Structure 1
């Protein structure tokens, strides 16, 4: 019967759609639970062995997509999750960011926690971007998407701990804690020193130059990223 066949087909379509949703939820659940294992591992390795993690990113970019980063979090996602954690710590300790209640000028665009998180993602991504562009320029390598992706992904592994330490340090300076200003300043200074040291070694090895010359490259790149960071922040604030 034509009517019965139509009902059966519709039922089969609904069932198949339902099974696809279940399979998607299964994969999503496994992915999120996997973060609980691989995120701390990736963060520890990025803090303790940053240069090895950057070299690891260089190798993984050349692999097939399904074989990439099988024992770590993908670098851009790692940076995003780190900023998410930093944002969560800020919300738990200091409450709502004042920027979310500001409705003047471009600040009105940042009207939710998600928008604020996206803004921070853009701001802290400036550091990997400037480091990567500087390296390619110094190597006289053509600036293309594939060429830029390799150093950028590696740089995300170091930008994430840097952003987390800066966030915690800044929060400590404003928190009503004994010696909070001093502790926060120490954390921020450590974060900057750690980041510049790593970048100096990275430039030194990649360009086959001395550590001092590498430090110069790191300082130039960091200054450019900081200028862009401040300029965008001032437009919003």
Structure 2
């Protein structure tokens, strides 16, 4: 019984602490994304209980952000038509939780592609240990990008010209912000020019988008 109470105590504290640390993490990521990505690198060296003591863990941060985006969609549009679709692989997405999981996997493609591209450019052997640091850092950058893409797409689903324009502007702004962050990240990590950093960022983004769209088309 005491173990159950202790587990409940930890779970409740963890969830409620998100109300404080999530907005702080989001603000820091939007304003100083490269610092947060470097922070993820440093925290990887700490002991498990000391990691991310003043922020949300990167994969969890991405998950909560997508949860917020999904909640906005439910509030504005109601249930996504994909959930009601029972044709082909779309039948696997039979609940909001499954749709949320799918979106998490799709946006994680960006984090994975960026992380792998960096390791390849550095000539670093690809292992679970070497991949974790850049992957965690990329989760910080992917979260605001995913939220802005979700908001922009939601705006464009209403069929109103003004909202369509605002949605398109939001999506373009998200891409510009994301590419800018990634260009700086590659430039600093590899010791190359901003232009070369942009080239690496653009290539990795294109690969991610191709994988993202391909997976979305197959499932839908």
The answer, yes or no, to whether TM exceeds 0.5 is yes
Secondary structure at the counterpart of residue 70 of structure 1: coil
Counterpart residue number, 2:97: 114
User: Offset at 1:175?
Assistant: 2.4
Written as runs of structure 1 = structure 2, the 5 A alignment for 1:76-87 is 76-87=59-70
Q: Distance in 2 between matches of 1:213 and 1:204?
A: 7
User: Offset at 1:20?
Assistant: 1.2
Written as runs of structure 1 = structure 2, the 5 A alignment for 1:39-54 is 39-54=22-37
Q: Which runs of 5+ in 1 are unaligned?
A: 1-17
User: Offset at 1:231?
Assistant: 1.0
Deviations 1:84-130 (A, max 9, x none): 00000000001110000000000000000010000000000000100
Written as runs of structure 1 = structure 2, the 5 A alignment for 1:10-21 is 18-21=1-4
The answer to whether structure 1 residue 31 and structure 2 residue 14 are counterparts is: yes
Q: Distance in 1 between matches of 2:196 and 2:23?
A: 33
Counterpart residue number, 1:197: 180
CA RMSD of aligned residues (A): 0.8
Counterpart residue number, 2:115: 132
From 186, 189, 192, give the equivalent of 1:206.
189
Tell me how many residue pairs correspond in the alignment. 220
Written as runs of structure 1 = structure 2, the 5 A alignment for 1:1-237 is 18-175=1-158, 179-237=162-220
Q: Distance in 1 between matches of 2:160 and 2:147?
A: 19
Using structure 1 for the length normalisation, give the TM-score.
Answer: 0.92
Q: Distance in 1 between matches of 2:16 and 2:213?
A: 36
List, as ranges, runs of 4+ consecutive aligned residues in structure 1 with deviation greater than 3 Å: none
Secondary structure at the counterpart of residue 149 of structure 1: helix
Counterpart residue number, 1:3: none
Deviations 1:134-154 (A, max 9, x none): 000000000000000000000
Secondary structure at the counterpart of residue 209 of structure 1: coil
Q: Which runs of 5+ in 2 are unaligned?
A: none
Using structure 2 for the length normalisation, give the TM-score.
Answer: 0.99
Q: Distance in 2 between matches of 1:75 and 1:28?
A: 18
Point out the structure with max Rg over C-alpha.
Answer: 1
Secondary structure at the counterpart of residue 179 of structure 1: helix
Deviations 1:182-214 (A, max 9, x none): 110110000000000000000000011110100
